[in-house]
Amino acid sequence: MVIKVLGPGCANCKKLEAHVREAVKELGIEAKIEKVDDFKEIMVYGVMKLPALVVDEQVKVMGRVPSPEEIKKYL
């Protein structure tokens, strides 16, 4: 499983990455977590609001920071 956190590195982007890591740890699953801050790569996903969460190349959330519990549902 590949999980991507899309965003330029703002506070919400860092918070989303922390929530993702917490959810992965709690579920005990193996996942590659990538931070994507290149706007050209972000635009490939058609995301207009940041931060965004991408799981296995599918955008799951954009423009907000979901809780670790919500993130678990997408994993």
pLDDT for the residue 75: 95
pLDDT for the residue 49: 95
Quick one: pLDDT band at residue 6, thresholds 50, 70, 90? Answer: very high
User: Alpha-carbon distance 48 to 25, whole Å?
Assistant: 29
pLDDT for the residue 65: 98
The rounded percent of the chain whose pLDDT value lies above 70 is 100
Tell me which residues are annotated as active site.
10, 13
Per domain, the residue ranges of the chain are 2-74
**Could you tell me the CATH superfamily of domain 2-74?**
Glutaredoxin (3.40.30.10)
Report the predicted TM-score, pTM, of the whole model to 2 decimal places. Answer: 0.94
Beta bridge partners of 32: 2
pLDDT for the residue 39: 93
- What is the average pLDDT across 35-47? 95
